Structure 1
Amino acid sequence: MAFTAQVRIPATYMRGGTSKGVFFRLDDLPQRCQIPGEARDRLFQRVIGSPDPYGKHTDGMGGATSSTSKCVILSKSTRPDHDVDYLYGQVAIDSAFVDWSGNCGNLSTAAGAFAIHAGLVDPVIRNGICTVRIWQANIGKTIIAHVPVTDGKVQETGDFELDGVTFPAAEIVLEFVDPADDGEESGALFPTGNLVDELEVPASLVPGGKLKATLINSGIPIIFVNAAEIGYNGTELQGAINSDPHALARFEALRTIGAMRMGLISDPAEALKRQHTPKIAFVAHPVEHTVSSGKMIRAQDVDLLVRALSMGKLHHAMMGTAAVAIATAAAIPGTLVNQAAGGVTRQSVRFGHPSGTLRVGAEVVQENGQWNVTRAIMSRTARVLMEGWVRVPGDSF
């Protein structure tokens, strides 16, 4: 019996922030995968090693977590005032689909660096900061990456430390320009028009059947709830949530209810095919606690505590796009995030997450009674882990 040989495709394996992914130039993909559709989805699933009923990604490049089951496509941009188009696919681990509904803020850092590595952007200076203007094609937004270069190449080593990443590296500053939803309807930043909504939920999920939530779309759609209202204190690490099937099912049920209220889905069943967005997170006032590295975080070290779930599991640190939403909500008086951070007016916030802390800023304005966010800024790091070719069976896509 004859079997189809493997094909090899140029690829680069990169870390960006607290995530990892397989990066491709659009022109390097097989012809039928250069356009959206089933072939591209099947290719990325096979590259990552999904769907994997064992949940290990042994036969692929994925790491069996939401932070490491990602693929990215970059190409030269045809849009005015942009250098590259960046498309991101979140590959499900144990089911056969790729979610294209949102962005990965962490890999946005690597997108800027990869644009230079791959020759899609030619640094105009040999030493200093190269500005890469990125069109985030999933959500139709501009991201500006300020990438350090030395001798005309990306500088990857440095002394900037990022909680959730073991080793220091060179700092890359990201600007998310106008990160809120562009919808023309009233309350695009807040899909319901409210800073705080009261969700009707089954009493089996939340005693009393009511749950306060801030529903916001900045960087990524996200549902913020108070930790205390769902029985947590905001210091939880991954094991406390991810080892509890009942807790995970409860969070998914609450996420589905929030997605319905935000208008992102019209039927609860649609949540199964929209696992990447919206996210759900819980917030709390600062308290002293120990994070996953063993480091002690004092209450005065942070403004609030945030724990967020991604693809149905508690994230080990914080998604970059969720950090944009945290900064935005923290800057707007009255949101649950702002209240957890002390209820004061602020342009930046340092929050605690399971791996440590992160500082992020946002510029917000209020016009005609409506809030909008003009810019969010954060620092991350990125580096190439491996480059060459990824191989997949020729009949897998």
Structure 2
Amino acid sequence: MAHVPQIRIPATYMRGGTSKGVFFRVQDLPEAAQVPGKARDALLMRVIGSPDPYGKQIDGMGAATSSTSKTVLISKSTRPDHDVDYLFGQVSIDQPFVDWSGNCGNLSAAVGPYAISNGFIDAARIPENGTVTVRIWQANIGKTIISHVPITNGAVQETGDFELDGVTFPAAEVQLEFMDPAAEEGDDGGGAMFPTGNLVDDLEVPGVGTLKATMINAGIPTIFVNAEAIGYTGTELQEAINGDPKALAMFETIRAYGAKRMGLIRDIDEAARRQHTPKVAFVAKPATYTASSGKTVNAGDVDLLVRALSMGKLHHAMMGTAAVAIGTAAAVPGTLVNLAAGGGEREAVRFGHPSGTLRVGAQAVQSDGEWTVTKAIMSRSARVLMEGWVRIPGDAF
């Protein structure tokens, strides 16, 4: 029996923040995959190695975690005042689908460097030494991200001394501004920044109870609950959650009912086909704990503790988009995030997560009773891990 040989596609494997993903220029994809649809999804799943009933993604570029089962498509932007369009695909590990419903804040840090290194930025804008500002259109959610990329000797600087908890080695700092990060009508985010109209809701979750919840659209739709209300302290590491099937089922139930309350889905069953959004997180007041690296995070070093789940598992650090949601919610007095941080007005918070700490800033204002956020700011790092071609069977899509 004859078999179709493999094809090769130009690709770059990059780390951005605490995530990794396979980056493509849309123009380099096979013609059938240059447009949204089944062919594109099938191609990306085969690249990553999904769906994999073994949950390992051995036959692909994925590494069997939500942080590493990611793909990015970059194209020249046709929008005024933007350099590139950035489309993010979260590939399910064990199910046959790609979730296009949200952004990846961590990989956002790699988009600017990728755009510069792959010819999307006019050479005249790239200094011999200095910084290039790359304006990115985040196509999943229809938002602008401004990336400040360091340049040394006319090329993207990747090495440096910026340390990011959750990443083993230091690298160059990439500053990101997430402009107007709260969802608006027409976005795939359910509407206003607080879709229920409340800073805190009573969320009824069958089998769990009625939980106080802050449900926010900023960065990515996120459901925040208090750690103590579900039997946790906020100091938990991955094994405390991910090794407990009952806990994972509880969080998925919270996520599903929160998604419906936020208007993201019409039926609870839809949540299983929308794994990337919304996120669910739990918050607590500062406490001292030992991070996954073994270092001590002191209560006095943070404003609050946050643990968040991604694709059904506790994240090893913090999703970048969820960090935007944390910073935004912290800036609005009265949310559960703000109260865990001590309440009052604030423009930045440092929160503790399983790998350490992260600082994120946000500027929130209230007008006519409605809260809006002009931008959220944080720093990440990015690095090319490998570049060349990725290969997949020619009949995989």
TM over 0.5: yes
Deviation at 1:151, TM superposition (A): 1.6
1:45 aligns with 2:45: yes
The correspondence of residues 300-319 of structure 1 with structure 2, limited to 5 A, is 300-319=300-319
Give the partner amino acid of 2:196. T
TM-score, reference length from structure 1: 0.98
**How far apart are the structure 1 equivalents of 2:71 and 2:88?**
6
The correspondence of residues 109-120 of structure 1 with structure 2, limited to 5 A, is 109-120=109-120
**How far apart are the structure 2 equivalents of 1:122 and 1:236?**
46
Percent identity at matched positions?
74
Partner residue in 2 for 1:67: 67
**How far apart are the structure 1 equivalents of 2:47 and 2:311?**
19
**Alignment counterpart, residue 204 of structure 2, candidates 190, 193, 200:** 200
The answer to whether the Cα contact below 8 Å between 1:74 and 1:85 also exists between their aligned partners in 2 is yes
Partner residue in 2 for 1:131: 133
Give the partner amino acid of 1:143. I
**How far apart are the structure 2 equivalents of 1:139 and 1:210?**
30
Count of matched residue positions in the alignment of Structure 1 and Structure 2: 393
Q: Could you report, residue by residue, the CA deviation over 1:275-330 in whole angstroms, capped at 9, with x for unpaired residues?
A: 00000000000111101000001100000000000000000000000000000000
Deviation at 1:184, TM superposition (A): 7.9
The answer to whether the Cα contact below 8 Å between 2:176 and 2:379 also exists between their aligned partners in 1 is yes
Report the CA distance shift for 1:111/1:184 in structure 2 as closer, same or farther (over 3 A): closer
Report the CA distance shift for 1:6/1:175 in structure 2 as closer, same or farther (over 3 A): same
Partner residue in 2 for 1:90: 90
Give the partner amino acid of 2:362. A
Deviation at 1:187, TM superposition (A): 7.2
Partner residue in 1 for 2:154: 152
Q: Could you report, residue by residue, the CA deviation over 1:87-136 in whole angstroms, capped at 9, with x for unpaired residues?
A: 00000000000000000000000011100111111351221010000000
TM-score, reference length from structure 2: 0.98
Partner residue in 2 for 1:189: 193
Name the SS of the counterpart of 2:257 in structure 1: helix
The answer to whether the Cα contact below 8 Å between 1:90 and 1:100 also exists between their aligned partners in 2 is yes
**How far apart are the structure 2 equivalents of 1:338 and 1:163?**
23
The correspondence of residues 161-240 of structure 1 with structure 2, limited to 5 A, is 161-183=163-185, 188-202=192-206, 204-205=207-208, 209-240=209-240
The answer to whether the Cα contact below 8 Å between 2:176 and 2:377 also exists between their aligned partners in 1 is yes
The answer to whether the Cα contact below 8 Å between 2:112 and 2:134 also exists between their aligned partners in 1 is yes
Partner residue in 1 for 2:339: 339
Q: Could you report, residue by residue, the CA deviation over 1:355-383 in whole angstroms, capped at 9, with x for unpaired residues?
A: 00000000011000110011000000000
Partner residue in 2 for 1:355: 355
Give the partner amino acid of 1:340. A
**How far apart are the structure 2 equivalents of 1:17 and 1:85?**
19
Moved over 2 A (4+): 184-187
Give the partner amino acid of 2:156. V
Report the CA distance shift for 1:30/1:248 in structure 2 as closer, same or farther (over 3 A): same
Deviation at 1:344, TM superposition (A): 2.3
Deviation at 1:192, TM superposition (A): 0.4
Deviation at 1:200, TM superposition (A): 1.4
**How far apart are the structure 2 equivalents of 1:126 and 1:164?**
31
**How far apart are the structure 2 equivalents of 1:393 and 1:5?**
6
1:252 aligns with 2:252: yes
**How far apart are the structure 1 equivalents of 2:186 and 2:42?**
35
**How far apart are the structure 2 equivalents of 1:272 and 1:252?**
9
Name the SS of the counterpart of 1:47 in structure 2: helix
Deviation at 1:345, TM superposition (A): 1.1
**How far apart are the structure 1 equivalents of 2:76 and 2:280?**
34
**How far apart are the structure 1 equivalents of 2:191 and 2:252?**
25
**How far apart are the structure 2 equivalents of 1:312 and 1:184?**
27
**How far apart are the structure 1 equivalents of 2:324 and 2:239?**
25
Of 113-122 and 78-87, the range deviating more from structure 2: 113-122
Name the SS of the counterpart of 2:108 in structure 1: helix
**How far apart are the structure 2 equivalents of 1:340 and 1:384?**
37
Give the partner amino acid of 1:89. G
**How far apart are the structure 2 equivalents of 1:46 and 1:392?**
7
Of 148-157 and 15-24, the range deviating more from structure 2: 148-157
Give the partner amino acid of 1:160. F
Q: Could you report, residue by residue, the CA deviation over 1:323-344 in whole angstroms, capped at 9, with x for unpaired residues?
A: 0000000010000000000012
Structure 1, unaligned runs of 5 or more: none
Deviation at 1:183, TM superposition (A): 1.6
Report the CA distance shift for 1:390/1:187 in structure 2 as closer, same or farther (over 3 A): closer
Give the partner amino acid of 1:392. I
Give the partner amino acid of 2:181. P
Name the SS of the counterpart of 2:198 in structure 1: coil
